[in-house]
Each structure stands twice: as structure tokens, then as C-alpha cells.
Amino acid sequence: MTAEYYWTLPTRGGGRGVADPSEKDGDWSPGGGALGPSIRDVRPGRYSYVDHLAHITRAAAVAGFSGVFVPFDPEGEDSWIVSAALAREIPRLAFVTEFPPTFGTPVYAAKMSATFQRFSGGRLGWKLAVEDDPAAGAAFGDHVEGADRFVRAGEFLDVATGIWGQEGFTFKGRFFEVEEGGLRHPLSRYPRPPVTLSGATPEALALSATRGDLHLWESARLHELEEYILELNRLASAHGRHLRHGVQLTVVARETAQEAWDEVRRLWLHAGVGDQEGFERLVLAPELWSGFRTIGQHATAGVVGSYEQVASYLHRVGEAGVEVFYLGANSPLEEAYRFGEHVVPLLVAPSPQLQAV
């Protein structure tokens, strides 16, 4: 079984300022990244933040990642636009685009996806952002709460799947209706994008069991993961289905464990979100820290250590049943190269030491 690695695109700035995690790229940084008045600056109007996103994506491609994950973030760039703009110029990579099922009708999501699939050679993936707090929903004009959000997501997927490649599809649900719908050839030339879901509530698990292709876990504790995976597999097989499992992790890999932990500690203290004691409380295992969201990362759990330790941990996560890794890092351009050069070789051709773990 070969694992797949996806890199997370920082759609609201990537935190390249290693010394200062609040520093973002381009106009996502406080000063807009402008040079001082005494220096001739030929960039204004010629470059934008998407150029840097393209650069990170290209780095992920050359460093050997399978794809990129483009998060839905109300405080960042729109995931559909970024994905479509970059898929055109960057070959091979899959683009897993996250969006809430409220962004438009499922027919329209399918329609947009069909065009995306056609020009990219079938490289689009869907990640549905189903859970949200009521205030965030209301800001988007969405007043559906709790378990109903999952009912709606289920209907959304039923419609998007139902119209793909067939005609005369009619659906009458609580949230969506279609009459005589259907995307026919050549729009349906490529398959509907694979569906990634997440969450650990009974509703989330039921949705994945019935409709997910990949379930993305936010936990990285091995025993917890094993339990979750067993449970979801049991639910899925009751529906005669099989789905894959993934985890979402931040990565801080350095030549030595000391360097890696020093880096995390420095970011934590600089961000001013807690003290040394607070930092220690977030250490879940010798190579696991769970405070990354507080320092600007998408995934709160992260693997920290030497290249060997990180590879070894990912290997063990894989043995727990995980086939797909959605990884992210501070300074994602540089870290994509680092991961590709130093960690991937240990994962692709496990060293005798790794195999012994």
C-alpha cells in the first residue's frame, strides 16, 4: 500500500516570516510586503499573492506530493478560484478543494466541477466543510444548524452524484430539488470528484459511511486513530461500502529533534498565546504537539522531530490504516522542498531502522 501526500495551500498567507509567525506573504502581511521609499520597486501591479501560491503549488509538485489541499477559509482567498487558476498551469497535482455545501446548488457545484475535471484531466477532489458554528453560518446567510447540516450535506452529495453522467434525474429532498437534471457527455467525461469528509460526531461518521470516499481525521494519536478507523469501517461495511482514511497534520521536521522542538517552542512563545507550561501540556507524545492552530496552521495536531522520527511516526500512522496525509507547514514553499528531500525518501524506501519500528 502506497501512501499519498497532499500539501496544504495557505490561502490567507503562509507565514514565511520564520521569526514572526504573524508575518504573512504579500498583502496578507501587515506592511503589504512593500519596499521602503528609497528602493526602486518594480513589482507593484505585476505580482499578487496568487503568484506566491502558484510557487508553493509548483514546489509541492516538484517535491513529489500527490496533490494540494485548498482549504475553505472565510478569512482567506476563495478555494475554487485558487484551485482553477493554479490547476491550469501546474501539471499532475490533484487539487482537493474545500467548500461548504451552502456555496451554491449541488447542480452548480457539479457543473463547475465538470469543467474543472475536463481541463485538468480529472484532478479535482471535493472536501466538504459541513460543520460550522451558527454565527459563521449566519454571516453566509445560512441558518441550518446541528444534525440538519449533515442531512443537507448528504442531499447535496446525492444530487451531485445523481446528475453526474445520467439524464432525467429527479430529486425532491428537504433542502434541494431537481427535475429532469443531468450532466451528459462530454461534461461527464471524467468521474465526479472523489469526496473527502471529516468530523467525529455520529452524524459525521454516518455521512462518511454512506457517501464518503475518504475520511479525514484530525487526531494523530495512534490508539485513537485505530479505534476511529475500526468504527467507521464497521459503519461503512454495513452499507456495503469501503472508504479510505486520511489524517490532517502539521509537520515540523528538522535534522535533529532538538531543532524541530526549538522551532515550535519559539513560534509558540512569539505568538504570545501561552507560556512554557502551556506548551508542555500540548505535547501529546514524544513526536506529537497539538497547538498548531493557535500559531496559524490549518491542522492543530502536528508531528515534530528529526526527519527519521517524523517518517517513522507517519509510517506508524499508515499502519493504523491511514493511506492519505494532508500535511501543512509554516513557510510552506521551503518546507515542501524539505519534506520532499528529507522525509519522503525515508517513507518511499524505508530504511532497515524504519522497518524495525
Residue 56 CB, nearest approach to another protein (Å): 15
Q: Minimal CA–CA distance to 101: which of 92, 91, 110?
A: 110
Helices 79-87 and 106-120 cross at an angle (nearest 10°) of: 20
Q: Are 116 and 124 in contact (CB under 8 A)?
A: yes
CA distance 6 to 18: 22
Q: Using CB under 8 A, which residues numbered 149 to 168 contact another protein?
A: 159
The CA-to-CA distance between both ends of the chain, in Å, stands at: 17
Q: Are 253 and 339 in contact (CB under 8 A)?
A: yes
CA distance 320 to 335: 25
How many other C-beta atoms are found inside a 10 Å radius of the C-beta of residue 256? 13
Residue 83 CB, nearest approach to another protein (Å): 8
Question: Is 121 near another protein (CB under 8 A)?
Answer: yes
10 Å CB burial of residue 180 (0-12, 13-18, 19+) is exposed
Question: Is 45 near another protein (CB under 8 A)?
Answer: yes
Residues 6 or more apart in contact with residue 164 via CB below 8 angstroms: 110, 114, 183, 188, 191, 192
- Per CB under 8 A, the segment of 106-114, 202-210, 213-221, 292-300 that binds another protein is 106-114
Question: Is 130 near another protein (CB under 8 A)?
Answer: no
Question: Is 316 near another protein (CB under 8 A)?
Answer: no
Residue 281 CB, nearest approach to another protein (Å): 31
Of 15, 181, 212, 291, the one binding another protein (CB under 8 A) is: 181
Cell of 102: 451552502
Residues 6 or more apart in contact with residue 240 via CB below 8 angstroms: none
Residue 298 identity? H
Q: Using CB under 8 A, which residues numbered 72 to 91 contact another protein?
A: 74-78, 80-85, 87-89
Question: Is 126 near another protein (CB under 8 A)?
Answer: no
Residue closer to another protein by CB (options 27, 280) is 27
Residue closer to another protein by CB (options 105, 294) is 105
Q: Are 216 and 268 in contact (CB under 8 A)?
A: no
Residue closer to another protein by CB (options 188, 306) is 188
- Per CB under 8 A, the segment of 41-49, 212-220, 270-278, 310-318 that binds another protein is 41-49
Classified as helix, coil or strand, 305 is strand
Helix (H) or strand (E) holding 127, with range, is strand 124-128
Q: Minimal CA–CA distance to 67: which of 162, 3, 133?
A: 3
Residue closer to another protein by CB (options 116, 325) is 116
Residue 191 CB, nearest approach to another protein (Å): 15
Residue 105 CB, nearest approach to another protein (Å): 5
Question: Is 116 near another protein (CB under 8 A)?
Answer: yes
Residue closer to another protein by CB (options 183, 243) is 183
Of 36, 37, 44, 141, the one binding another protein (CB under 8 A) is: 141
- Per CB under 8 A, the segment of 1-9, 181-189, 196-204, 220-228 that binds another protein is 181-189
Question: Is 111 near another protein (CB under 8 A)?
Answer: yes
Q: Using CB under 8 A, which residues numbered 189 to 248 contact another protein?
A: 189
Q: Minimal CA–CA distance to 26: which of 38, 34, 17, 18?
A: 34
Q: What residue ranges bind another protein (CB under 8 A)?
A: 12, 27-28, 45, 48-50, 54, 74-78, 80-85, 87-89, 99, 102-108, 111-112, 114-116, 118-119, 121, 135, 138-143, 159, 171, 176-182, 184, 186-187, 189
